[in-house]
Amino acid sequence: MPKVHQLPALAPSANPQSLRVGQQSLAIVNLRGNAQDPAFSDAVQQALDITLPVQSCTTVANQRLRLVWVGPDDWFVFGPQGEQAALVEALRGALVQQHAAVTDVSSGYFVVSLSGPSAQDLLAQGCPMDFHPSVFHVAQAATTHFHKVGITLWRAADAPGFELLVRRSFIDHFWQLVVAGSREFGITAQVAA
């Protein structure tokens, strides 16, 4: 059984089809506001130097940040670990005249990476979505489930791969499902640099 909140210890697989997995602790900020108000979107752009995704189920990223649409007035902002206070301060400062909410939720989530030729196959075992690249591409995001674990996910820039937002309270169960589902092709842990 994996240690609490940790990526399980996994022996490297020799199978070239093996699933490669990783886990990151990032700065994660929940942003709420009115995307129909140009002043709100402009304030976010000014604070973060990245355009707020306002189309449903989309994500945008630059070298430092990723913004993921999760609802008509709801986004996650991802940044380097340790920068959550700076992100919150920048957003709150820019949105002081707006009806908005900015909350550091970093301690409640992990970002998980699933990559390799079998990543899509593993997700298909427990998720009802079509992950073929022609249907679910790099600029898209979705909130769904993997078996009974709620996730938000997007395709990683280095396909074939995905990044998933998983609640901290479900991470151990999530890893048990991943390990069980990857038996046919093997699994290798990737330690973040």
| pLDDT tens sequence across 102-149 | 999 999 999 999 998 899 999 999 999 999 888 998 889 999 999 999
Is the pLDDT assigned to residue 1 strictly greater than 60?
no
> Residue 155: what are its φ and ψ, rounded to 5°?
-80, 130
Write out the two tokens for 12.
């490297």
pLDDT at 156: 82
Q: Which residues contact 147 (CB under 8 A, 6 or more apart)?
A: 125, 126, 177
Question: Where are the alpha helices (H) located in 38-170, listed in sequence order?
Answer: 38-48, 84-94, 119-126
Residues 166/174, Cβ–Cβ less than 8 Å? yes
Q: Per residue in 21-70, pLDDT tens? A: 998 889 999 999 999 999 999 999 999 999 999 999 999 999 999 999 99
User: Where do the domains of the chain lie?
Assistant: 19-24+108-189, 27-106
Provide the pairing of β-strand 74-79 with 187-189. Answer: unpaired
pLDDT at 192 over 60: no
Whole-number pLDDT of residue 117:
87
CB 184 within 8 A of CB 14: no
Tens digits of residue pLDDT in 138-161: 889 999 999 999 999 999 876 679
pTM over 0.85: yes
pLDDT at 5: 58
Q: Could you tell me which residues come within 8 angstroms of residue 47 by beta carbon, excluding any fewer than 6 positions away?
A: 90, 91, 93, 94, 95
Confidence of residue 2 (pLDDT cuts 50, 70, 90): very low
> Tokens in use for 186?
């093997």
In which band, very low, low, confident or very high, does the pLDDT at 8 lie, cut at 50, 70 and 90?
low
Q: In the CATH scheme, what architecture does the domain 27-106 have?
A: 2-Layer Sandwich (3.30)
pLDDT score, position 171:
94
- The alpha-helical segments, DSSP class H, found in the chain are 38-48, 84-94, 119-126, 171-181
Q: Is-contact 104 29, C-beta < 8 A?
A: yes
Residue 51: its pLDDT value, please?
96
| CATH code given to domain 19-24+108-189 | 3.30.1360.120
